[in-house]
């Protein structure tokens, strides 16, 4: 039997995982449930783990797996198992489109041709993906280096603070943190040597969300 808050939290986590494949942060859970502190979130998560609704994934920050989803129409009652994706073999490789280079500094021309890139399937989640070769150093503090391959999940929207491919004026693409500042869209670098870029909303279109990185040595 779940309390109302436990029910709200498991549904919120399940929805966020379904949308983007990433668990919400404890701060996001606190705000979603209108709790006063994150200690209340910790108590709810611990209770859901004990009841078999959630599982913490070892050695991964913010990693939660939903094991059961309660019925949405009520906060108590029988839970149904969450859909289980087919297992991915560790050596499975997928071919995804490689759309040229993307700036992690100043914007450069978007999608310069297309080839294919072999990517370990374990790096990709749900959805349609493509890859872009990173050019520049403005995202180094986020661990994104010049020459890396950014693995992008196709999407036309983003949450505040997500790293996205932003298409500017339908001609240039850049990889940045996506945020709002008043009526403007602000694209933030992860390198103090670079300044944020500000645009009117009609100048910027989200083309995808960062799903992972591939680095060759």
Q: Provide the annotated active-site residues.
A: 138, 176
DSSP conformational letter for 63: -
Cα-to-chain-centroid distance, residue 107: 22
Give CA angle at 17 (65, 203), nearest 5°.
155
Are 96 and 128 in contact by the 8 Å Cβ rule? The answer is: no
- Distance between CA atoms of 208 and 133, rounded to whole angstroms? 14
131 in Cβ contact with 117 (< 8 Å):
yes
């Amino acid at each position: 039997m779940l309390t109302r808050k436990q029910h709200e939290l498991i549904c919120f986590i399940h929805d966020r995982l379904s949308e983007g494949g990433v668990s919400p942060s404890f701060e996001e859970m606190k705000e979603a449930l209108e709790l006063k502190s994150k200690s209340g979130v910790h108590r709810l998560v611990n209770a859901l783990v004990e009841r078999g609704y959630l599982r913490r994934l070892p050695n991964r920050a913010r990693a939660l797996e939903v094991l059961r989803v309660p019925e949405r129409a009520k906060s108590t009652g029988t839970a149904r198992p969450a859909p289980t994706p087919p297992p991915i073999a560790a050596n499975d490789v997928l071919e995804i489109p490689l759309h040229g280079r993307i700036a992690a500094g100043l914007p450069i021309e978007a999608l310069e041709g297309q080839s294919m890139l072999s990517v370990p399937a374990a790096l990709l989640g749900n959805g349609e993906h493509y890859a872009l070769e990173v050019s520049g150093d403005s995202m180094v503090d986020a661990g994104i280096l010049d020459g890396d391959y950014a693995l992008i999940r196709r999407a036309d929207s983003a949450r505040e603070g997500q790293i996205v491919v932003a298409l500017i004026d339908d001609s240039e693409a850049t990889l940045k943190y996506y945020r709002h500042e008043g009526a403007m869209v602000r694209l933030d670098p992860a390198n103090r040597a670079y300044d944020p870029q500000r645009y009117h909303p009609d100048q910027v279109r989200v083309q995808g969300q960062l799903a992972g990185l591939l680095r060759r040595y």
